[in-house]
Amino acid sequence: MKLIAEFNENITPIITEAKEDGKKDYFIEGIFMQADIKNRNGRVYPKEIMEKEVGRYVKEFVEKQRAFGELGHPEGPTINLDKVSHLIQSLTLEGSNYVGKAKILSTPNGQIVRNLIDDGAKLGVSSRGLGSLEQKGNAQYVKDDFQLATAGDIVADPSAPEAFVEGIMEGVEWIMGKNGVLTAIQAEDFQKTLKSARLNNLEETKLNLWKRFVENL
């Protein structure tokens, strides 16, 4: 599966009135994800696939207050608690749009986001997940193995998600291993090894590559 990130910039910051202790609550709200629409990266998320996965995400993460997001563009599909900046509190379907609301936390990265909002910075969100892609015409369609890591990391650069997926993660695929642990494999390295293998030891080479992969699960 490939790491897939999508950017949405229709996000509105919300600051509540100061409490008795003088502290304010910060939120962001807007379109986090879209279904049945070809996005800026040339990908389409079929509505039935999106509904199923978002339903699971809401039940397992949002409702249990575990739907965290990070500041910036993480390099993998897992959530890094030391980089968390916000907690997604709701995610609802409106037409083809999933409208989300997230509370900015008092973590170090959350404080950075609060300062950016105070200074008038324009922020966006980038969904992050794993999935296979199928080319259909001039668009890539996300297949039914799609798994959402977070409905939205907070980002500022609308071009960064595409560069991130095509650059840093180029040649890297993610495999679901034992106990649901995700493992990154360097597909390109494996392909080079197979291409350089002689015909009489091709099967042995395949077996050795498989052993290397299993050992890293």
Determine the Cα–Cα distance for residues 42 and 40; give it in Å rounded to an integer. Answer: 5
DSSP the chain: -EEEEEEE--EEEEEPPP-TTS---EEEEEEEEESSS--TTSEE--HHHHHHHHHHHIIIIITTT--EEEBS--SSSS--GGGEEEEEEEEEEETTEEEEEEEEPSSHHHHHHHHHHHTT---EEEEEEEE-EEEETTEEEE-TT-EEEEEEEEES-TTHHHHHHHTTTTTEEEEE-GGG-EEEEEHHHHHHHHHHS-GGGHHHHHHHHHHHHHHT-
Which one from 85, 86, 126, 127 is the annotated catalytic residue?
126
Which one from 73, 85, 86, 127 is the annotated catalytic residue?
73
Is 126 labeled as catalytic in the residue annotation?
Answer: yes
- Residues marked active site are found at 73, 126
